[in-house]
């Protein structure tokens, strides 16, 4: 059986024929050694055909199609023209680098494809010697083609979801989780550090953020007095706690501390306070991003759980493509594979466990409500991803359905049908979109009107400035106004004889 190898380069497609395939597959170590030697490799591989891309745009379209496992038209036409017709007497195999592309070619062109055995080593050798195997091709031109296509492909992938900006959500939730860990660690450190000097403060102010603020405010406990009561009340928002702090400072069992140690504690406490405040700002930023990108998912399960689902899936588009069963156990992959390996019970939920709905359900209903919630999350993510102007109407309707299902499990009250709820949500969404469109039109008209008025005012102001400049001629002499500028008809002037000229 003959073997042909397809190689996709940034400059085009190439097909090579491999000699003595049966012997090569048996002597794989020798093939690996001969890959780096061009003379030995030329005796094995021969170029059958090369089809260059016409433009950079065509190259980008082809590489995008191949990355998605789709056979481009250029590739199918090229293979039809280069490869021999398959028959019973003339059988061959086409070696490919990607298993997805091989499956697509086998389905579209009815060609037997392979990506195992000696094929990867042969493709590695072709990649190594490709500029020398094709006539009129050089290392420099190959590098330029690869660099240009690599930049355009990366740019296309980055810009794939630029309007949704779900990449910002992924980075924000990752930073938020990291900040939570760091703030907890730093808070424990400041508690241990400052407790050498003022150990009673830990019991009075158990909150980490408030403890850091109080430590930064108090510094040396011996400096506390009744004058500091107002400042402490502003921090802890409780007069009794503030008074308790002052009383405890007078009877504290802590050790005395030097000025340099207090200075370091104060700087570290300030850093912890700043980190906590930035964490609050970041959560508000995440909330605004989720409102713009995935309002329905946000209304259904909240900011952080929705953002974690998007981050785990890789993008909102990927999450929308997942079935509800995958969304249900997203985040519990290790437990799932361990259960499959040991043939035990599979996990009921992954990241959805952080939702309040799972916590409110009974132990026997947790699996049911997680399955129902995953179904609604899948619907909400698809609405957010594929709607041009997403709003939170569907998310609120889906949330109400989950609430009704919880009541059904608790009291047996029958929930409304999904069809009725969705019809109502569609009507409300259509009305909301219509009102938004009319509001946008009105706003555009107002902006246009204001712009015209501003232009008229500028024109009138410029005209007034010109008339003032014309009337004052520098020497103080007045010049008559031009009747054409004012729009008045011209008056005929009587000719005055110059007496001096007559004399």
Query: Tokens at residue 294, please?
Result: 């995935």
Q: What confidence tens digit (pLDDT) does each residue in 328-351 have?
A: 999 999 999 999 999 899 898 899
- Kindly report the number of other CB atoms within 10 A of residue 149's CB atom: 19
Name the CATH superfamily housing domain 294-432.
Nop domain (1.10.246.90)
Strands, E assignment, 233-347: none
Identify the CATH number of the domain defined by range 168-285.
Answer: 1.10.287.4070
Q: What is the pLDDT of residue 225?
A: 87
Q: Give long-range contacts, CB 8 A cutoff, 24+ apart: 212-219.
A: 212/187, 212/269, 212/272, 212/273, 212/276, 213/269, 213/273, 214/245, 215/190, 215/265, 215/266, 215/269, 216/266, 216/269, 216/270, 216/273, 218/245, 218/249, 219/262, 219/265, 219/266
The Cα 173–Cα 244 span in angstroms is 38
Q: Give the pLDDT mean for 438-458.
A: 80
The Cα 294–Cα 164 span in angstroms is 9
Burial label for 142, CB within 10 Å (0-12, 13-18, 19+), is: middle
Nearest to 295 by CA among 376, 393, 372: 393
| 268 or 82, higher pLDDT | 268
Locate CATH 1.10.246.90 in the chain.
Answer: 294-432
Q: What confidence tens digit (pLDDT) does each residue in 360-400 have?
A: 888 888 999 999 999 999 999 999 988 887 888 999 999 99
Nearest to 295 by CA among 385, 423, 374: 385
Q: Give the pLDDT mean for 152-171.
A: 73
Query: Tokens at residue 15, please?
Result: 């097909």
Locate CATH 1.10.287.4070 in the chain.
Answer: 168-285
Q: Give the pLDDT mean for 174-198.
A: 93
- In this prediction the pTM is 0.63
**Residue 471 pLDDT exceeds 60:** no
Q: What confidence tens digit (pLDDT) does each residue in 223-234 have?
A: 888 888 888 999
Query: Tokens at residue 296, please?
Result: 């329905």
Q: Give the pLDDT mean for 462-483.
A: 52
The Cα 93–Cα 1 span in angstroms is 7
Q: Is 252 helix (H, G, I), strand (E, B) or coil?
A: coil
Residue 317 pairs in a beta bridge with none
Q: Are 377 and 309 within 8 A, CB to CB?
A: yes
Average pLDDT over the chain, rounded to an integer: 83
**Residue 221 pLDDT exceeds 60:** yes
Locate CATH 3.30.420.220 in the chain.
Answer: 2-158
Whether domain 2-158 has CATH 3.30.420.220: the reply is: yes
């Amino acid at each position: 059986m003959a073997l042909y190898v397809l190689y996709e380069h940034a400059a085009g497609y190439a097909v090579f024929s491999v000699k003595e395939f049966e012997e090569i597959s048996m002597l794989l170590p020798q093939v690996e050694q001969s890959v780096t030697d061009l003379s030995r490799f030329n005796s094995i591989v021969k170029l059958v055909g090369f089809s260059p891309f016409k433009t950079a745009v065509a190259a980008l379209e082809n590489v995008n199609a191949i990355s998605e496992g789709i056979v481009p038209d250029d590739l199918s036409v090229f293979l039809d023209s280069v490869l021999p017709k398959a028959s019973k007497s003339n059988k061959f195999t086409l070696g490919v680098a990607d298993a997805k592309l091989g499956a697509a070619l086998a389905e579209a062109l009815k060609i037997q494809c392979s990506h195992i055995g000696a094929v990867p080593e042969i493709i590695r050798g072709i990649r190594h010697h490709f500029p020398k195997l094709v006539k009129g091709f050089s290392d420099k031109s190959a590098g330029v083609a690869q660099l240009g296509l690599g930049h355009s492909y990366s740019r296309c992938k980055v810009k794939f979801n630029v309007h949704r900006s779900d990449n910002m959500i992924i980075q924000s939730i990752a930073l938020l989780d990291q900040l939570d860990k760091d703030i907890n660690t730093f808070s424990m450190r400041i508690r241990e550090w400052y407790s050498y000097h003022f150990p009673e403060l830990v019991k009075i102010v158990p909150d980490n953020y408030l403890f850091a603020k109080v430590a930064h405010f108090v510094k040396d406990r011996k400096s506390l007095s009744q004058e500091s009561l107002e400042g402490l009340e502003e921090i802890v928002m409780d007069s009794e706690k503030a008074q308790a702090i002052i009383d405890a400072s007078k009877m504290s069992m802590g050790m005395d501390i030097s000025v340099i140690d207090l200075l370091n504690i104060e700087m570290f406490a300030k850093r912890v306070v700043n980190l906590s405040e930035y964490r609050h700002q970041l959560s508000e930023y995440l909330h605004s991003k989720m409102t713009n990108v995935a309002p329905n998912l946000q209304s259904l399960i909240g900011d952080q759980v929705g953002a974690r689902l998007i981050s785990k899936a890789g993008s909102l588009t990927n999450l929308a493509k997942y079935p509800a069963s995958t969304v249900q156990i997203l985040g519990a992959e290790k437990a799932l594979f361990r259960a499959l390996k040991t043939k035990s019970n599979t996990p009921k939920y992954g990241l959805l466990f952080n939702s309040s709905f799972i916590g409110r359900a009974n132990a026997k209903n947790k699996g049911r409500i997680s399955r129902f919630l995953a179904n609604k999350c899948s619907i909400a993510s698809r609405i957010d991803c594929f709607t041009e102007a997403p709003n939170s109407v569907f998310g609120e309707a889906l949330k109400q359905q989950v609430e009704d299902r919880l009541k059904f499990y608790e009291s047996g009250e029958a929930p409304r049908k999904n069809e009725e709820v969705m019809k109502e949500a569609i009507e409300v969404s259509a009305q909301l979109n219509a009102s938004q469109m009319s509001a946008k039109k009105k706003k555009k008209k107002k902006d246009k009107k204001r712009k015209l008025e501003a232009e008229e005012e500028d024109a009138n102001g410029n005209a007034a400035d010109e008339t003032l400049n014309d009337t004052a001629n520098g020497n103080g002499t007045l010049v008559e106004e031009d009747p054409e500028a004012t729009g008045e008809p011209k008056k005929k002037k009587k000719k005055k004889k110059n007496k001096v000229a007559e004399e």
